[in-house]
Structure 1
Amino acid sequence: MSAAWLSQVALPWVLASVMMAMGLSLTGADFARTWRHPRRVLLGTGLQMLALPLLAWALVLLLPLPPLAAAGLLLVALVPGGATSNMFSYLVQGDLALSVTLTAIAAVLAPFTLPLVMGWNLELLGLATGGLSLPYWHTVGQLLLVTLLPVLAGMLLRQALPARWLEVVLPGVKGFTGVAMISVVVALFASHAERLPSLLSLETLAVLLLCLFSMLLGHGVARRLHLPHDSVRAITVEVGVQNAGVAMMVAFVLLQQPAIGLVPLLYGLLMNVPVFLWMFACLWRDRHPEATVADRR
């Protein structure tokens, strides 16, 4: 199985199927409940779309990353949320409706914001002078095809399917698409293993710091604003977990730059380390509520 087929064919199709499965999980009630508290939605979206790119740039300026690796890190920061973040929000008993809403908003905005901001990033990194560019409308169209349109198709399909049938089939669909996405990421990892940075590298440090600092940012700001603890957890996940699949697709398919795609690929694997540690900490706190009374005020 060639790396080109994995990145050019399998990745876009599997990514679209994951987004459609997410759309099958969405209902109008999810958004209606969340918009009763618009401050939480605006806070999460603001941190995702504005604070994350700035945090990534801070890491690029702090760490002497090669330009292509820096571009990969900045690309990851431009695609927040995703089906994985919804799963983690569910596992830590976060505000799932808020998590899903923030993911849906990111899916709507990212096709339009990513090519614009990434174009600026390439210029600031000096890569645009070498002919590296991201055509705006072509990129918008490609991202719509693999992100927003599958989500909308999933939502429409949910309306058309009988509720009983959906309850039976949906868990299997979500499980299958999740396994398919993991399989593609692992296969890409194996096919690019010789070119991937070592685990003791600046690239590894950069992706771990991006995930850790973004989680701390989301958690800290949400706590500072005295949001309910389930909303704090949802915002922590939504700000801290990026859609590595979309970032890889942009790098491998649209930019035709596997060297840029290696950092999102590395992120897709290593982000699980801080996220799982935080998730276990949340579960421990839930089992020992007397130790975290202040966290629940």
Structure 2
Amino acid sequence: MSADWLSQVALPWVLASVMMAMGLSLTGTDFARTWRHPRRVLLGTALQLLALPLLAWALVLLLPLSPLAAAGLLLVALVPGGATSNMFSYLVQGDLALSVTLTAIAAVLAPFTLPLIMGWNLELLGLTALGFSLPYWHTVGQLLLVTLLPVLAGMLLRRALPAAWRERVLPAVKGVTGVAMITMVVALFVGHAGRLPALISLETLAVLLLCLSSMTLGHMVARRLRLPHDSVRAITVEVGVQNAGVAMMVAFALLQQPAIGLVPLLYGLLMNVPVFLWMFTCLWRDRRPVSATARRY
């Protein structure tokens, strides 16, 4: 099975299926409740658009990365959110409406912010990118196809299903989609193994530090502001999980610099390690007695 087929065909279908399953657990009231608390939306957006690029630059200054690897890491930090972050918010029982809202905002803003800021980054790194641009409608269209449209389809299906049937089928759907995503992650590791840097490398350290530091930042800031624990989880995921697929498209197709695309590819695979560990920790805490987890986040 070819790695290109996995990343270009199978992965979008798996993500779209996960998003449709998430839509089965959402109602219009969830989104209305999210916009009644605009502070949560503003916080998540600010962390994604402002804090993430600064974190990436801190790592670039800290680690002796090559200019191309540094450019790849900075590129990853400029494409926050995506279907994967929504999936993790769903699996970790976070505020899914908030997660989808933040993803939608990122999808609209990224085409404007990414070309400008990445152009500055390339100049500071001593690289050039003539005619750098990000095709707006193509990017938004891809995100619509694998995130918002499947969610809306799931919400419509939810309205058509009897309540008793929904309660029986939702746990099974959640389990199946979780297994499907884990299987896809393993397949991508195997399929792209020949193209990636060594697992023990500066690039690996950089992507893991970016994921861990951004998740930690989102978690700590949301907790400091005393947000509900499901919103804390959603913001933790949204800030910590980037849209590596868009970053790879920019590197390979727009910049025509495959060497820059290797770090986003590595990030897209390795980010799952800390996120899954954190997710399993949250779910384990949820199964503990209420008295022991009354203050959990």
TM-score range, shorter chain: 0.7 to 0.9
Q: Distance in 2 between matches of 1:278 and 1:160?
A: 31
SS of the residue corresponding to residue 41 of structure 1 reads helix
Q: Distance in 1 between matches of 2:281 and 2:151?
A: 34
Q: Is the 8 A contact 1:73 1:207 kept in 2?
A: yes
Q: Are 1:11 and 2:8 counterparts?
A: yes
Name the residue aligned to 1:134: 132
TM-superposed deviation, 1:159: 8.4
Name the residue aligned to 2:141: 145
Q: Distance in 1 between matches of 2:253 and 2:10?
A: 12
Name the residue aligned to 2:200: 200
Q: Is the 8 A contact 1:207 1:266 kept in 2?
A: yes
* Residues 182 and 294 (structure 1), Cα distance of their counterparts in 2 relative to 1, 3 Å cut: closer
Q: Distance in 2 between matches of 1:259 and 1:27?
A: 43
Q: Are 1:247 and 2:247 counterparts?
A: yes
What CA deviation, in whole Å up to 9, does each residue of 1:129-151 have, x standing for no partner? xx555225xx3243233224665
Q: Which amino acid aligns with 2:229?
A: H
- Greater shift, 280-289 or 236-245, is seen at 280-289
Q: Are 1:265 and 2:270 counterparts?
A: no
TM-superposed deviation, 1:23: 7.5
Q: Is the 8 A contact 2:244 2:267 kept in 1?
A: yes
Name the residue aligned to 2:222: 222
Q: Distance in 1 between matches of 2:218 and 2:181?
A: 29
Name the residue aligned to 1:290: 291
- Greater shift, 240-249 or 25-34, is seen at 25-34
5+ residue gaps, structure 2, are none
Q: Which amino acid aligns with 1:142?
A: H
Name the residue aligned to 2:107: 107
Q: Distance in 1 between matches of 2:232 and 2:9?
A: 32
SS of the residue corresponding to residue 41 of structure 2 reads helix
Q: Which amino acid aligns with 2:142?
A: V
What CA deviation, in whole Å up to 9, does each residue of 1:17-41 have, x standing for no partner? 8469747937644421200111011
Alignment of 1:67-86 (within 5 A): 67-86=67-86
Q: Distance in 2 between matches of 1:132 and 1:6?
A: 30
What CA deviation, in whole Å up to 9, does each residue of 1:228-275 have, x standing for no partner? 111111111111111122222222222222211111111111111111
Q: Is the 8 A contact 2:82 2:143 kept in 1?
A: no
SS of the residue corresponding to residue 193 of structure 2 reads coil
* Residues 6 and 104 (structure 1), Cα distance of their counterparts in 2 relative to 1, 3 Å cut: same
Q: Distance in 1 between matches of 2:18 and 2:279?
A: 23
Q: Which amino acid aligns with 1:231?
A: S
Q: Is the 8 A contact 1:30 1:97 kept in 2?
A: yes
Q: Is the 8 A contact 1:34 1:98 kept in 2?
A: yes
- Greater shift, 144-153 or 63-72, is seen at 144-153
* Residues 23 and 51 (structure 1), Cα distance of their counterparts in 2 relative to 1, 3 Å cut: farther
- Greater shift, 14-23 or 107-116, is seen at 14-23
* Residues 158 and 212 (structure 1), Cα distance of their counterparts in 2 relative to 1, 3 Å cut: closer
Name the residue aligned to 1:116: 116
Q: Which amino acid aligns with 1:135?
A: S
SS of the residue corresponding to residue 248 of structure 1 reads helix
Name the residue aligned to 2:237: 237
Q: Is the 8 A contact 2:74 2:121 kept in 1?
A: yes
Query: RMSD in angstroms over aligned alpha carbons?
Result: 3.5
What CA deviation, in whole Å up to 9, does each residue of 1:164-197 have, x standing for no partner? 49x89xx98xx79x959975x7777556534421
TM-superposed deviation, 1:115: 2.0
Q: Distance in 2 between matches of 1:189 and 1:62?
A: 27
| Count of aligned residue pairs for this structure pair | 286
SS of the residue corresponding to residue 265 of structure 2 reads helix
- Greater shift, 212-221 or 110-119, is seen at 110-119
